[in-house]
Amino acid sequence: MPDSAHSALSGSSSADAAAAGEPRVRWLFLDLNSYFASVEQEMRPELRGRPVAVVPVMADTTCAIAASYEAKAFGVKTGTQVAEARRLCPGIQFVEARHGIYVDYHNRIVEAVQQCVPVSAVLSIDEMASSLIGREQPLRAALSLAKRIKQVLREQVGETLRCSIGLAPNRYLAKIASDMEKPDGLVALTPDLLPAALEHLSLRDLPGVGARMEKRLHMAGIRTMEQLLRLDREQMNHAWGSIQGEKLWHWLRGEDFQDAALEHQKSISQSHVLPPALRTPEGCYAVAHKLLHKAAMRLRAARLWTTSISVSVKFVVPKEEAHRLHYSGIPQEGWSQGMSVVECQDSQTLVEALCKLWERCPKDARHRKPFYVGVGLGNLVPDHLHTLDLFGNLEGESRRTRLTTAMDSLNHKYGLTTLMPASMLLARAAAPTRIAFTNIPDLFE
């Protein structure tokens, strides 16, 4: 064997031996910092270093959907109303959201990350995760990979874009790690640091723990992470009220616990604040049809089936009679109804259900000014668990499936409104694509 080859082999063996003694991580989680605001600062250099808030429309009645770190330093955050943002930060610059640009940058970011490591899952417009394998897993190699990703993003996508990266034995802990240091952070939660590295967190720092779950945990006597970490699997299951508790128990201990049967999406929803021209019962109904059209396309694209549909409407009422204020400041009264449907994914069945629900919507003088409508599909079932209706018709279901598949194909290629129900015509230009943090709307551009 030539000396050069022997040296290379020896070096490789030494590196492998060193890596064998290192802590290992299996997941890399990337979270783009203040994404919408950062993209605006990248495209408009005059905004760099200045407090910026991205708003859905240029109006005093709306709120920020994103804020730059310069704005966050003054207390402005997602959900802060425009008037309050001005009070907190007099020099703040408001920018109207440009969703098409954010999707374009998202795609460029995914492409840049893919040059360093395959992206296993895109979780939202500003979050993605990669499963690490082989020589990527030792801690030093994973840290080097994370730094390379940061550099590639700056060089190929935008010098003002920053991301926080978390490394951990499972995706859940990697997400937690990515939130620990912002902006531009890099944190590794290796097995040897657990559970001590989690004890200083609050319950709300855990992904999936919102106000309702926090209240549920408090009622169970759990108020700190230390108390939560002391629970055994059975106690965690009881506290959560579902199998999610057991999964969390495994995740917090560094196990990469997976259960494919439980990983599918549980609900799909679409909602829209109506433009003034459509704040009538007829306009609201037309927009509800369009939202259902979008939700049904998403359902089929995800190869899911639904067994329930719900509709929510919010009406403008006099301020003194309002149950609460909408985040935009509009005094509101809400109405919602739901119903079960035969396990389905075709638009015809869902539209028929929507019609029945709409008949129940209040139509008195107090409820003549709707300003918001939302539709939801719940109790979702993955394709491989779908069962035919015992009283249904196999041929009929097959025919509806072929029809909706053909419509989806044309709408995907030529635009959402290429083929649509006639009842949607009034809302043709309404309910445009919006970017939810958990949905990149590639189907509905």
Q: What are the pLDDT digits (tens) for 16-41? A: 545 567 899 999 999 999 999 999 99
Domain at 268-444: CATH code = 3.30.1490.100
| Contact assessment for residue 286 and residue 275, using Cβ atoms and an 8 Å cutoff | no
Residue 141 has pLDDT above 70, yes or no: yes
| Contact assessment for residue 441 and residue 435, using Cβ atoms and an 8 Å cutoff | yes
Place of tokens 């190929």: 156
Q: Is the peptide bond before 51 cis (omega within 30 degrees of 0)?
A: no
pLDDT, tens digit (0-9, with 9 covering 90-100), for 61-88: 788 989 999 999 999 998 899 999 999 9
361, two tokens: 């919507």
| Contact assessment for residue 225 and residue 196, using Cβ atoms and an 8 Å cutoff | no
Question: Which distant-in-sequence residues (6+ apart) come within 8 Å of 228 by Cβ?
Answer: 203, 217, 222, 236, 239, 252
Res. 401 pLDDT band, cuts 50 70 90: low
Domain ranges of the chain: 21-168, 196-261, 268-444
Q: Using the 8-state DSSP alphabet, how is residue 63 labeled?
A: B
How many CB atoms are located within 10 Å of the residue 79 CB? 11
Q: Determine the pLDDT at residue 411.
A: 52
Q: Is the peptide bond before 207 cis (omega within 30 degrees of 0)?
A: no
Can you give the three-state secondary structure of 96-111, one letter per residue? ECCHHHHHHHHHHHHH
Q: State the average pLDDT for the chain.
A: 82
Q: How far apart are CA 66 and CA 51, in angstroms?
A: 11
Lowest-pLDDT choice from 108-117, 146-155, 312-321: 312-321
Q: Determine the pLDDT at residue 14.
A: 45
Q: Determine the pLDDT at residue 25.
A: 96
Res. 327 pLDDT band, cuts 50 70 90: low
pTM tops 0.75, yes or no: no
User: Is the fold of 196-261 the same as that of 268-444?
Assistant: no
Task: Give 280-291 as a DSSP string.
Answer: SHHHHHHHHHHH
Q: Determine the pLDDT at residue 435.
A: 44
Residue 4 has pLDDT above 60, yes or no: no
Active-site residue 127, yes or no? yes
Residue 429 has pLDDT above 90, yes or no: no
| Contact assessment for residue 370 and residue 313, using Cβ atoms and an 8 Å cutoff | yes
Residue 51 has pLDDT above 70, yes or no: yes
163 three-state secondary structure: strand
Q: Give the class (CATH, top level) of 196-261.
A: mainly alpha
| Contact assessment for residue 153 and residue 145, using Cβ atoms and an 8 Å cutoff | no
Q: Which of 70, 84, 96, 127 is catalytic?
A: 127
| Contact assessment for residue 252 and residue 176, using Cβ atoms and an 8 Å cutoff | no
Q: Determine the pLDDT at residue 431.
A: 47
pLDDT, tens digit (0-9, with 9 covering 90-100), for 361-381: 998 888 889 989 999 998 888
CATH, domain 21-168, list 3.40.1170.60, 3.40.50.300, 3.90.1150.10, 3.10.20.30:
3.40.1170.60
